[in-house]
Amino acid sequence: MNAAAGKCRRSSGNALILRSSLAGNRWPILRPRCAPNRPPHPRRALYVRCGLPAATQPLRKSLSKSPSRSIRQSRVRAFCVCCRAGETIEGAQVAACTPPSRPVRVNHQRPENSMNDISVTDRSLAEPEIDEVRQRCRNVMEQNNYNQSIVSKLSGVAYSTVAAWLGGTYTGNNSKVTVKIQTWLDSLAEQSKVRMTVPDMPGFLATPSAVNFSTTLQMSQIMSDIGVIVGGAGIGKTEAAKEYAIRNPNVWLVTMRPTSSSKLRSLRKIAKVLRLDTGGSDDALTDQIAERITGTGGLLIIDEAQHLVAEALDEIRSIYDATDQTCGVALLGNESFYARIEGGRTENFSQIHSRFGDRIIQPKPVKGDVDMLLEAWGVGDPNEIKFLRMVARKPGALRVMSKTLRLAGILASGGGEVRNIDHIDAAYKRLSASSSGGGNA
């Protein structure tokens, strides 16, 4: 506990004032007004007469009017060096031996060199302990290829503080920084242990559906058409598009969101993927995008196209027209997206609908998709296969099936067991409960 000593006007001895933590780990500084070292920039101050019974009422009144709720709930202590006597009044312990002529000033303030983002125990650490944690942090940085910026982001300690602390030049409370870094390192080690028990997801699988999706993308690029891939959630549309973009040049995958449904925001999304300036009007963005992809023989893939309004879809059609059919476009979405276009061939969608080339409409995965994924997960038990095929027919399809198997592996590993149908059933029930509670499978 830190202490500050000052000469008291009404006594020949020194008044020792101790710091005590407030609720929320905030620190006041308690000292007489006659103390030589007054704290700079006090945030709030309470004037409390201490020592005499008559001081009880002013103390209560001051505390009740305090704007700081944490002060009223704290234990504020002020001890006199000569007798160490004191009494507790309204949660505060004040010196009782010599009534001062001037009130004690309680400054609601953190200590000098404190950090805004550190709220940990005030336990002081010895220098060898700090050096040990510092070296441990350096080892983790080397193993994971972390720089100081990443450490700052993951640990919640300011970048400048991390840099000074690692270099041994930090002039603030090194114990607090060390405790917070140590907490992060311990959490990182615990996460690594848990992560070792999590089964790895299979990589991209060339399932029958994935092959069909890739073929449609290829035809759209070669023929510079507008291809359409429609399917339920979790059947592999996005994964096939990602793999196709990796394997082929001049392919740009843009994933739309509900927040990018409007014409302007969807154009900015496309411009960002193309590494163009995202400022300016929608006309300027359309011209930039069309100029960038014209003559490339590439493919612009718009995933989650169901989020786009009719005006945004028509603007993508106009970009396609501006390329003079030298770059293809592929629209990926769910069944509601295609129902809007197919069921409303009016002036809203007639122009884009007439430009559609190859298209696939597949609500659910085919049997070959499920069997290939089960084989990749190493599932051979007939009961497990039967159960997981049922899962694949539900909304979320292959994605939910893989998540179920992954969670089942964690449950089995936690109990030191081999994965079985009970673990799979329990995992699916957990995922179903979270999905019904508002999560997306």
Query: Which CATH number does the domain housing residue 273 bear?
Result: 3.40.50.300
Among 174, 196, 218, the domain boundary falls at 196
Same structural domain, 131 and 94: no
In a structure prediction context, what are the per-residue pLDDT tens digits for the chain, which is 441 residues long? 333 333 333 333 333 333 333 333 333 334 444 444 444 333 333 333 333 333 333 333 344 444 443 333 333 333 333 333 443 334 444 333 344 444 444 444 444 444 444 444 456 888 889 999 999 999 999 999 999 999 999 999 999 999 999 999 999 899 999 999 999 999 999 888 877 777 777 888 999 999 999 999 999 999 999 999 999 888 999 999 999 999 999 999 999 999 999 999 999 999 999 999 998 899 999 999 999 999 999 999 999 999 999 999 999 999 999 999 999 999 999 988 888 887 655 556 777 877 888 899 999 999 999 999 999 998 989 999 999 999 998 888 899 999 999 999 888 887 778 889 999 999 999 988 765 544 443
**Which tokens in the block code for residue 11?**
């006594």
In a domain, 203, yes or no: no
Among 316, 332, 362, the domain boundary falls at 362
In a domain, 202, yes or no: no
**Which tokens in the block code for residue 274?**
């193309």
Report the relative pairing of strands 356-362 and 226-231 from DSSP bridges: parallel
In a domain, 115, yes or no: no
Among 163, 196, 229, the domain boundary falls at 196
3-state SS assignment for residue 198: coil
In a domain, 293, yes or no: yes
Same structural domain, 137 and 99: no
At 401, give phi and psi (nearest 5°): -65, -45
Residue from 106, 137, 102 nearest 38 by CA: 106
In a domain, 201, yes or no: no
Same structural domain, 270 and 353: yes
Residue from 200, 251, 265 nearest 222 by CA: 251
Domain range holding 259?
208-362
In a domain, 263, yes or no: yes
* Cβ burial, residue 439 (10 Å; 0-12/13-18/19+): exposed
Amino acid at 147: N
Work out how many domains the chain is built from and give that number: 4
Same structural domain, 241 and 326: yes
Question: Residue 315 to residues 103, 320, 356: CA-CA distances in angstroms?
Answer: 73, 9, 15
d(CA 313, CA 350): 11
Amino acid at 20: S
Same structural domain, 238 and 308: yes
For 300, the enclosing helix (H) or strand (E) is strand 299-303
CATH number, residue 157: 1.10.260.40
The answer to whether the beta carbons of residues 140 and 162 sit under 8 Å apart is no
The answer to whether the beta carbons of residues 369 and 208 sit under 8 Å apart is yes
Same structural domain, 251 and 159: no
